[in-house]
A and B are shown apart, each in its own frame.
Chain A
Amino acid sequence: MDQAVIQHPPADATHASASHAAATHGSAEGGQQHPIRLYLWIWTLLFVLSACSYMVDYFQLHGALRWTLILLFMLLKAGFIVSIFMHVAWERLALKLVILVTPLTLLVLIGLMAIEGDYTFLTRIASFVR
């Protein structure tokens, strides 16, 4: 970067402001620092939620209740890990959007493959299960 500045004096102004921005957010003490109490809380919560989802299997719940509970505990755990442990809750919106909205396109894939799986099942039933 220094070399570029020497090579192109007119770029000085823009480079100076860029490095200033870098200095503002780059300092270690400005990094993601949060009270340990919060981490311990989330940690405990994750244990409890994991135990809950294990209990779903242990008590052999079945049908819609089982699937709802499994998905509920899964999404809660994923939410806590991403927002607290991975600090997404404190990131700026620009980064949040990239992290959270991009994977939503996968719902299209999941939807299409569910339809396709259903169709394959029906054709298999129709053709070779008598």
Chain B
Amino acid sequence: MTEQASIRPQPTPVLDGPMDGPLNTPLDGFRGATADWSADKQAFPVPWGKAMMWIFLISDTFIFTCFLTSYMNVRMSTTEIWPNPSEVFALTVGGAHIPLLLIAIMTMILITSSGTMAMAVNFGYQRNRKRTAALLFTTAAFGVSFVCMQAFEWTKLIVDEGVRPWGNPMGAAQFGSSFFMITGFHGLHVTGGVIYLSVVATRVLNGFYDRKGTYETVEIAGLYWHFVDLVWVFIFALFYLW
């Protein structure tokens, strides 16, 4: 081993890794492969958690696009009238009939929560623990109110309007299945995000990230939350407004 090391030319090339030299155990081989694949070959100069979150979000983009594309497909191919979302989701407030009111409020709430999330990331990097945690909890609270409104909307649709995944009194049967699938999956994402943000906020409060030395986790959680908002932008435009 020492002889080999002395023969080695001084400026060590990248390939000259742990692969040469005696391999004693299978574990050594594994460590060599790990070192080879990680040594000086990092493709994305960001924290690994951020790169992984982005890859997850890209895969999530594919899932939501599949849902929205199947919705487009059934809406294009049905010979029945598609229920008018503007009417289906209208609310009567104080005698006034306002189209799509609840959905507009939900959109505003999600955008507001995106704003508080962006501020939380900012205060996180300033190491302002209290403000970061407060903003994260605010964001999660907006998320909770969003899910509550969605529960109200689902109840209204199922109980009052008689919408089912297999049919409804207003027109094309595919309306129900598309609606429950798309908004249900988005609602699950919001619920997951609320739990995620609550965990991160609690850790901010108890100084976990100060001990860790970095607040990048707050930014990574922010990526997820903004993505949930982003998906809503598409659902709002393509399902509710189209």
Query: Per a CB cutoff under 8 Å, which of B72, B99, B125, B242 touches A70?
Result: B242
In the bound complex, how far is the Cα of B226 from the Cα of A39, in angstroms? 13
In the bound complex, how far is the Cα of B127 from the Cα of A14, in angstroms? 33
Task: Enumerate chain B residues within 8 angstroms of A56, measured Cβ to Cβ.
Answer: 241
The 5 residue pairs across chains A and B that have the minimum distance between CB atoms: A117-B76, A8-B18, A120-B77, A74-B237, A14-B39
**Pairwise interchain contact A129-B100, C-beta atoms closer than 8 A:** no
Task: Sample 19 A-B pairs with CB under 8 A, ordered by A number.
Answer: A4-B34, A14-B17, A17-B40, A22-B42, A29-B125, A31-B214, A33-B125, A47-B108, A50-B107, A60-B86, A74-B238, A81-B226, A98-B44, A98-B55, A110-B72, A117-B73, A117-B75, A118-B77, A124-B78
**B88 CB within 8 Å of chain A:** no
Interface residues on A, range: 35 or more
Q: Which residue of A lies closest to B59 (CB)?
A: A102
Most buried by B among A17, A74, A129: A74
Task: Enumerate chain A residues within 8 angstroms of B34, measured Cβ to Cβ.
Answer: 4
Task: Enumerate chain A residues within 8 angstroms of B69, measured Cβ to Cβ.
Answer: 106, 109-110, 113
The residues of A with any CB-CB pair to B shorter than 8 Å are 3-4, 7-11, 13-15, 17-18, 21-22, 25-29, 31-34, 36, 39-40, 42-43, 46-47, 50, 53-54, 56-58, 60, 66-67, 70-71, 73-74, 77-78, 81-82, 84-87, 91-92, 94-95, 98-99, 102-103, 106, 109-110, 113-114, 116-118, 120-121, 124-125, 128-129
Stretch at the interface among B46-54, B136-144, B196-204: B46-54
Task: Enumerate chain A residues within 8 angstroms of B234, measured Cβ to Cβ.
Answer: 74, 78
**Pairwise interchain contact B31-A25, C-beta atoms closer than 8 A:** no
**Pairwise interchain contact A50-B111, C-beta atoms closer than 8 A:** yes
**B119 CB within 8 Å of chain A:** yes
Stretch at the interface among B8-16, B160-168, B178-186: B8-16
In the bound complex, how far is the Cα of B79 from the Cα of A99, in angstroms? 37
The residues of B with any CB-CB pair to A shorter than 8 Å are 5, 8, 12, 14, 16-18, 20-21, 28, 31-32, 34-35, 38-40, 42-47, 51, 54-55, 58, 61-62, 65-66, 69-70, 72-79, 86, 99-100, 104, 107-108, 111, 114-115, 117-119, 121-122, 125-127, 213-216, 219, 222-223, 226-227, 229-230, 233-234, 236-238, 240-242
Beyond the given pairs A70-B241, A78-B230, A95-B44, 15 more chain A to chain B contacts, judged by CB atoms under 8 angstroms and listed by A's residue number, are A3-B31, A8-B28, A28-B125, A28-B214, A28-B215, A29-B125, A31-B216, A50-B108, A56-B241, A86-B223, A86-B227, A86-B230, A109-B69, A113-B69, A114-B73
In the bound complex, how far is the Cα of B219 from the Cα of A103, in angstroms? 22
Task: Enumerate chain A residues within 8 angstroms of B5, measured Cβ to Cβ.
Answer: 9-10
Contacts A36-B119, A116-B73; A98 near B214 (Cβ below 8 A): no
User: B61: shortest Cβ distance to chain A, in Å?
Assistant: 5
Contacts A32-B219, A81-B226; A95 near B46 (Cβ below 8 A): yes
Task: Enumerate chain A residues within 8 angstroms of B14, measured Cβ to Cβ.
Answer: 14
User: A24: shortest Cβ distance to chain B, in Å?
Assistant: 8
In the bound complex, how far is the Cα of B8 from the Cα of A115, in angstroms? 62
Query: Per a CB cutoff under 8 Å, which of B122, B216, B227, B236 touches A53?
Result: B236
Q: Which residue of A lies closest to B1 (CB)?
A: A9
**Pairwise interchain contact A13-B12, C-beta atoms closer than 8 A:** yes
